[in-house]
Amino acid sequence: MKSLFMKHQGALLLIFSLLLTAILASSSPAQQLVELPIPKLNKVVIKLQFRNGSICDPKGKEGLTYATANLITQGGTKELSYSEIQDKIYPWAAGYGALVDKEVTTFTFQVPAEVLDQFYPILKGLLLEPAFAENDFHRIMKQQQNYVDQVIRASSDEEYSKKALEDFLFRGTNYQHMVQGTSEDVKNISLDDIKMQYKNFFTRNNLTIGIAGNYSPKFLASLKADMAKLSNVTPVIPPPGKAKMPDGVNVEIIAKEGAFGSAIFTGTPLAVTRSDNDFAALMVANSYLGEHRKSYGVLYNKIRETRSMNYGDYSYIEWYQNGGGYMLPPPGVPRHSNYFSIWIRPVQIAVQLQQQYPELKNISIGHAQFALRLAVREVEKIIHDGISPEAFEATRTFLRSYIKLYVATPSDQLGYLMDSKFYGRTDYIKEMDHLLAKLTVKDVNNAVKKYWRVNNMDITIVTDTSEAEPLAKSLKENLPSPMSYSNAVKAGLPKSVLEEDELIAAYNLRVKHVTIIDSKETFK
Amino acid sequence: MKTFLLSALLVFAAATAQTQSKILPYPIYQKTLSNGLNIVTVPFDSPGLAAFFVVVRVGSRNEVEKGVTGFAHFFEHMMFRGTEKYSSEQYNNILKSVGANANANTSLDRTIYHMTGDAAKLETMFELESDRFMHLKYSEADFKTEAGAVKGEYTKNFASPYQQLYENMVNTAFTTHTYKHTTMGFFKDIVDMPNQYQYSLEFFNRYYRPEYSTVVIVGDVKPEQTNALAEKYFGNWKRGTYVSHVPVEPVQDSTRYVHLQNNSIPPSLSLNYKGPAFSDSALDIPSLDILTTILFSNISPLYKKLVLQEQKVRSLYGGATDSRDPDLISIEASLIKKDDLQYVKDEIVKAIEQVKRNGVDEKSLAETKMRLRNSFAMSIDNPSTIANALAHYIYLTGDPESLNRSYALLDKVTIDDIKSAAKKYFVPSSLTIATISADAEGGVK
């Protein structure tokens, strides 16, 4: 809670819900349409979502979909260079970009309503006649190569451990690699590859058009007619990779020179998505355990608030885009392959604790193992005991209000409606609200028993090189990990916490394999 | 082609000017209670929804005593630790029942507490917030425990080399003013936080007072309703007496240098000139906003040369910081090769010198003003964004109308103003150069 820096905060629910109704229609069997007319809005938001993502990257060219989308948005058209486009849209403050995920790629354009007609030829040119210029290609590929070579390893250990978990959990499948690709494979991507990917995967046959704001029927007719001129190839989309059920509990420790703490992610395959009605039951259980960036969750309460171990601890039943940045989940990342995960933000390592507190000079590992034991033990308790009727009611009440905040802006509302179609729903937020209303505590506890587990799990820990070996040994040998508080904190803790600590320190994580990987060797 | 574009621009500009004399197209209602607390209400068409913000004009700028840097931020954490009436757990339970998106954040000049949710729960929001602002109570044990969470926050941030460089850069650029330390504070002070319980009580006593605070409510609300609730719940809040004296930064007399040796990320260059304090009446800040947008945005000749044509630079950014006291104007570039650090610095300086001599052209000036206005106009599509925008100007000047005044001021900036600002602020003696590369030294002159 209480982040230091201002972040995007989605705001509110159904701002325009009384004014308008989303119109969901299908303009042709291939071309899907989601409309959200808001005549009083001063802008228009257009989203073009292609049912193709990084799972469509050919083997050996991982990162190709990402490169293709980026070259479209950061390149020119047949008429205008990238630079000329930027000159033209500069005074309007119009903007656009692409979000590439595993299974969809979404282009979002935002423009003042007054200049929509002047802006439109640019949109049309980018999608229908992208320049794919050599010079732009070199520029964007340098950026992409740099991301996979350096940025992912060097800028946020939390994001690093999250991406590393997907690499671990989905190993051997088309879900394994980052959407940006891998160090080796990005080098193999050519301009011709991008042209082919564009022709074969960004087509009229896998497109959903979304539009929100102040636009005319005439404009929409043009947009639909023009997007029907996209390639008529029917893309061959490979089935999304499924995580193999982990054989026991397996840990990959990524040893990184100079890491200041241990950043942890755990994951286990989850059979349900937003398509399933059971998802609502799991939403309640998950929110109770670890609602994203909220102080209400059990994990947050026990790890951060009571024991002061880190900045926050949360759990997830689906992919959460840029959790370090967003307080509310953004649209545009729908997936068929889900997993249940726990995010433990960086906890202290032994070297740091030894330097900070004389009373801890003899410890051999930091707080990672204790934090992991605590988190997994809490999940096991919920699986075994369920959540109480009171906790169920409070959490359900919270969620029924809170999920409406996901669609606070016209852009997010449009995005959620488009994602709803991916899951075979019409309006996910409204439908979840209805499902939540009908839910019972028994439904929640049954769903938890059915879908959550602690015995088959992959775990990634990004930590300092000094911590890797002792932590690996302690995990492998199931050694006790008594919590190493500073004297100042320990003196004020209630007896009940210290007693619980003893149980946690001895909790058996049932770790089967532990591997240490040099940071330089990840994402190869 | 150019003529067509310009006339299209003029038509658009006229349309914009007609519909928006003030940049915020909604009235701002203000009422100051007898204890000095200002209540700001902006009704907005968001059926059933409201954003409730409390802006406290205290940040790391106020951390004037030695050994307690990072305290404004730490105190923000303590505000979630309960009151006489509600324990931390009870507070969380009530907050959860509101179903709001609630949090807080701290920066150089302010701390903001915010919640956005069901407008029907507005009274509960008032009750919860007034209770903790007036009756915060936490044990020494809770205080010591919370310090660990702050250390955890520092630990996560420190993973970024850019954050490490930034920390060193401000520590070098400032010698005396409290902008010398980041809002997180110096690490040694963070480690020592558990020992500062008494100081925390003093901190609350000084700053969590009506004269330092403003309540902002935006959304499906009416000013009569919010003002009545404010009177009911905040009316008894006692005014304080403390006045913060922040030391003045002496004039810098020569270029300063900071370097971080790191081969795990691309080489990086950051040029930091001393800039002005924020003002909604002087033309310096709007002139610098326009100038840095023209010089460093992706339509600038410099961007086109370094990023698009030569591809020596990955990204380029520049802008002045809005702060209560004179702060930095920063220009950041991420490079491909460290050997180009000096070249890129020289090119940036060359572009600035060119503006000092020749100013900027009329078209760029007109387009940039339009861009800045349009960008803001398109962003305010929900109560939270509007409340955040108001909070920004409230912490800078104490008055939400500064938002409208600042954008009106932007329209008055002339080419001469831009030339003057460039000459006044972009001088080598006020510069701090910060670099990251694999080398032991930055080597940029």
A15, part of any domain: no
| Domain of B318, in residue numbers | 256-437
CA B97, CA A288: separation in Å to the nearest integer? 13
**What residue has token string 């689906």?**
A318
The residue type at A428 = Y
Residues 6+ apart with CB under 8 A from A385: none
Q: A127, A107 in Cβ contact below 8 A?
A: yes
Residue B36 in domain: yes
| Terminal alpha carbon distance of chain B | 43
- Looking at the structure, tell me whether residues B216 and B302 fall in a common domain: no
How far away is chain A from the Cα of B429, in angstroms, using its nearest Cα? Answer: 30
3-state secondary structure of A347: strand
Question: Could you tell me which residues come within 8 angstroms of residue B28 by beta carbon, excluding any fewer than 6 positions away?
Answer: B40, B41, B42, B390, B400, B401, B404
**B215 and B335, same structural domain?**
no
Angle, to 10 degrees, between the axis of helix A368-385 and the axis of helix A441-451? 130
Residues B41 and A98: their CA atoms lie apart, in Å, by 36
Q: Are residues A181 and A273 in the same domain?
A: no
C-alpha A103/C-alpha A97 separation (Å) is 17
Residue B109, both tokens: 């000049």
Which of B234, B264, B294 terminates a domain? The answer is B234
B398 is a domain residue = yes
Whether B3 maps to a domain, the answer reads no
Give the C-alpha separation, B136 to B141, whole Å. Answer: 15
B118 touches chain A (CB under 8 A): yes
Whether residues B360 and B423 fall in one domain: yes
Does residue B150 lie in a domain region? yes
**Residue carrying structure tokens 């602002």:** B133
Say whether both A383 and A465 belong to one domain.
Answer: yes
Q: Do A187 and A266 have their domain in common?
A: no
Helix (H, G, I), strand (E, B) or coil at A411: helix
A262 and A138 fall within a common domain: no
In a domain, B444, yes or no: no
Q: Which of A196, A227, A258 lies at the terminal end of a domain, its last residue?
A: A227
Closest residue, chain B, to A296 (C-alpha) = B92
Model pTM? 0.93
Q: Does the beta carbon of B7 lie under 8 angstroms from any beta carbon of chain A? A: no
Contact yes or no for A405 and B96 at CB 8 A: no
Give me B42's structure tokens: 């902006």
Contact B116 A153 (CB under 8 A): no
The partner residue sitting opposite B378, judged by closest CB among A6, A43, A312, is A43
Note which residues in 340-369 of chain B have CB less than 8 A from chain A. 366-368
3-state secondary structure of A316: strand
Same-domain status, A287 and A185: no
Find the CB nearest A308 among B146, B304, B368.
B146
Query: Do A9 and B388 count as a contact with CB atoms less than 8 A apart?
Result: yes
The answer to whether residues B295 and B373 belong to one domain is: yes
- Burial class, A299, CB count within 10 angstroms (exposed 0-12 / middle 13-18 / buried 19+): buried
Contacts of A327 in chain B (CB under 8 A): 101, 103
- The b/e string for A51-68 (b: 16+ C-beta within 10 A; e otherwise) is bbbbbbbeeebbbbbbbb
A134 reaches B (C-beta below 8 A): no
In this complex, the residue of B12, B381, B388 whose CB is nearest that of residue A114 is: B12
Other C-beta atoms lying within 10 Å of the C-beta of residue B140: 15
Q: B366, A90: Cβ pair inside 8 Å?
A: no
Which residues in chain B come in under a pLDDT of 70?
A: 1-20
Amino acid found at A456: N
Residue B1 forms part of a structural domain:
no
Shared domain for B213 and B277, answered yes or no, is no
Extract the tokens encoding B51. 């954003």
Report if residue A455 sits inside a domain. yes
Lookup: tokens for A62: 């991982």
Per-window interface: A 19-38 vs B, CB < 8 A = 19
Q: How far apart are CA B367 and CA A377, in angstroms?
A: 59
Instruction: Tell me, yes or no, whether A208 and A275 share the same domain.
Output: no
Number of domains in chain A: 2
Closest approach of B184 to chain A, Cα-based (Å): 8
Regarding whether A285 and A408 lie in a shared domain, the answer is: yes
Partners of B142 on chain A (C-beta within 8 Å) are: 492
- For chain A, the straight-line distance linking the first and the last C-alpha, in angstroms and rounded, comes to 35
Are A328 and A405 in contact by the 8 Å Cβ rule? The answer is yes
CA distance A18 to chain B (A): 7
User: Would you say residue A395 lies in a domain?
Assistant: yes
Please tell me whether residues B210 and B287 are part of one structural domain.
Answer: no
**Is the distance from CB of A134 to CB of A369 less than 8 angstroms?**
no
- Spatial separation of the C-alpha atoms in residues A357 and B368, rounded to whole Å: 54
Nearest residue, CB atoms, B371 vs list A91, A114, A142:
A91
CB contacts, 8 Å: A302 with chain B: none
Parent domain of A326: 249-521
Whether the CB-CB separation of B365 and B181 falls below 8 Å is answered with no
| Residue A159 contacts residue A325 (beta carbons within 8 Å) | no
pLDDT at position B158, please? 86
Residues 6+ apart with CB under 8 A from B87: none
Beta-bridged to residue A34, according to DSSP, are A24, A210
CB B154 within 8 A of CB A147: no
Instruction: Tell me if A6 and B107 make a contact (CB, 8 A cut-off).
Output: yes
Whether residue A474 sits in one domain with residue A329: yes
A307 and A168, same domain (yes or no): no
Give the domain CATH number at A388: 3.30.830.10
In a domain, A2, yes or no: no
In a domain, A242, yes or no: no
Exposed/middle/buried for residue A446 (C-beta within 10 Å: 0-12, 13-18, 19+): middle
Q: Which of the residues A12, A257, A495 would you substitute to probe the B interface, choosing the one with the greatest number of B C-beta atoms within 10 Å?
A: A12
**CB burial readout B352-387, b (16+ within 10 A) else e:** beebbeebbeeebbebbbbbbbbebbbbbbbbbbbb
Same domain, A324 and A422: yes
Residues B213 and B303 in one domain: no
Identify whether residues A58 and A203 lie together within a single domain.
Answer: yes
- Rounded Cα distance between B181 and B174, Å, is 9
CB contact under 8 A, B384 and A86: no
CB A65 within 8 A of CB A132: no
Structural domain includes residue A271: yes
B41 touches chain A (CB under 8 A): no
Residue A224, Cβ density class (10 Å: 0-12 exposed, 13-18 middle, ≥19 buried): middle
Helices (H), B66-139: 71-78, 88-98, 122-135
Using CB atoms, pick whichever of A6, A352, A410 lies closest to residue B105: A6
Q: How many CA atoms, within 13 angstroms, populate the side-chain half-sphere of residue A407?
A: 24
Residue in A5, A20, A90 to test binding to B, most B beta-carbons within 10 Å: A90
- Mapped onto helix, strand or coil, the DSSP state of residue A103 is coil
Q: Residue B309 is part of a domain; what is its CATH number?
A: 3.30.830.10
Say whether both B295 and B199 belong to one domain: no
Q: Torsions phi, psi of B54, nearest 5?
A: -120, 120
Indicate yes or no: CB of B105 within 8 angstroms of CB of A2.
yes
Neighboring chain A residues of B411 at a CB cutoff of 8 Å: none
Residues B195 and B333 grouped into a single domain: no
Name chain A contacts of B309, Cβ cutoff 8 Å: 135
The continuous run of DSSP H or E covering B13 comes out as: helix B2-19
Q: Structurally, how many domains does chain B consist of?
A: 2
- Whether A297 is covered by a domain: the verdict is yes
User: Both B176 and B261 in a single domain?
Assistant: no
Collapsing DSSP states into helix, strand and coil, what is residue A438? Answer: helix
Q: Would you say residue A240 lies in a domain? A: no
Q: What is the amino acid identity at position B408?
A: A
Tens digits of pLDDT across chain A (524 residues): 333 333 333 332 333 333 333 344 334 445 799 999 999 999 999 999 999 999 999 999 999 999 999 999 999 999 999 999 999 999 999 999 999 999 999 999 999 999 999 999 999 999 999 999 999 999 999 999 999 999 999 889 999 999 999 999 999 999 999 999 999 999 999 999 999 999 999 999 999 999 999 999 999 999 999 999 999 999 999 999 999 999 999 999 999 999 999 999 999 999 999 999 999 999 999 999 999 999 999 999 999 999 999 999 999 999 999 999 999 999 999 999 999 999 999 999 999 999 999 999 999 999 999 999 999 999 999 999 999 999 999 999 999 999 999 999 999 999 999 999 999 999 999 999 999 999 999 999 999 999 999 999 999 999 999 999 999 999 999 999 999 999 989 999 999 999 999 999 999 999 999 999 999 999 87
Residue B234: exposure state from Cβ atoms within 10 A (0-12, 13-18, ≥19): buried
> Which residues of chain B have a CB within 8 Å of the CB of A284?
none
DSSP code at position B297:
S
Asked if residue B403 and residue B264 are part of one domain, the reply reads: yes
B179 plus B310 within the same structural domain: no
- Phi first, then psi, for residue A244 (nearest 5°) are -75, 140
Looking at A227, A257, A279, the residue that finishes a domain is A227
Question: Do both A209 and A80 map to the same domain?
Answer: yes
Give how far B103 is from chain A: nearest CA, Å: 5
Q: What are phi and psi of A78, to 5 degrees?
A: -60, -35
